[in-house]
């Protein structure tokens, strides 16, 4: 009897941890909650695979790979676990943390994005928020990088 009461109490407490709808089913997240990350294959084609982003003044780059996101400047290189991207209003967002440092990489389709330093153009615009600083630039699938003279 005592074990049955303990099991019932434990089940009740665990059930209380999950928000529930009036019918007892799990509640839907609030409308303003960020979308959950999706599998890479579920992202729009332009955002699938290895992606490289970069910008100038200051020079920075980001590599989005299956397992990690790597942020680099001439003075630093920080790797973050890649927890997957999520689609938000036509953009794809990756968020992660390493220690106390959060990073947010936002890519959106923007044909003709210019890096401001060359005549090359890129199909994606990039915005990276890291440590209170926002970096803006361009991005492309690694396999589709434009080259000078083409």
Note the pLDDT tens digit of each residue in 12-53: 544 455 566 666 666 555 544 455 555 655 777 888 899 999
- pTM over cut 0.75: no
Q: How far apart are CA 103 and CA 94, in angstroms?
A: 8
Q: How far apart are CA 25 and CA 19, in angstroms?
A: 9
């Amino acid at each position: 009897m005592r074990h049955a009461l303990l099991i019932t109490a434990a089940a009740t407490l665990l059930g209380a941890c999950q928000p529930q709808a009036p019918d007892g089913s799990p509640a839907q997240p609030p409308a303003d909650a960020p979308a959950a990350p999706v599998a890479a294959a579920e992202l729009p084609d332009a955002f699938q695979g290895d992606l490289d982003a970069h910008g100038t003044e200051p020079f920075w780059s980001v590599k989005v790979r299956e397992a990690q996101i790597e942020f680099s400047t001439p003075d630093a290189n920080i790797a973050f676990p890649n927890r997957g991207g999520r689609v938000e209003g036509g953009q794809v967002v990756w968020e992660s943390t390493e220690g106390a440092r959060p990073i947010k990489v936002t890519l959106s389709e923007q044909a003709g994005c210019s890096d401001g330093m060359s005549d090359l153009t890129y199909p994606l615009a990039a915005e990276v928020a890291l440590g209170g600083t926002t970096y803006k630039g361009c991005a492309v699938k690694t396999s589709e990088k434009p080259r000078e003279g083409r």
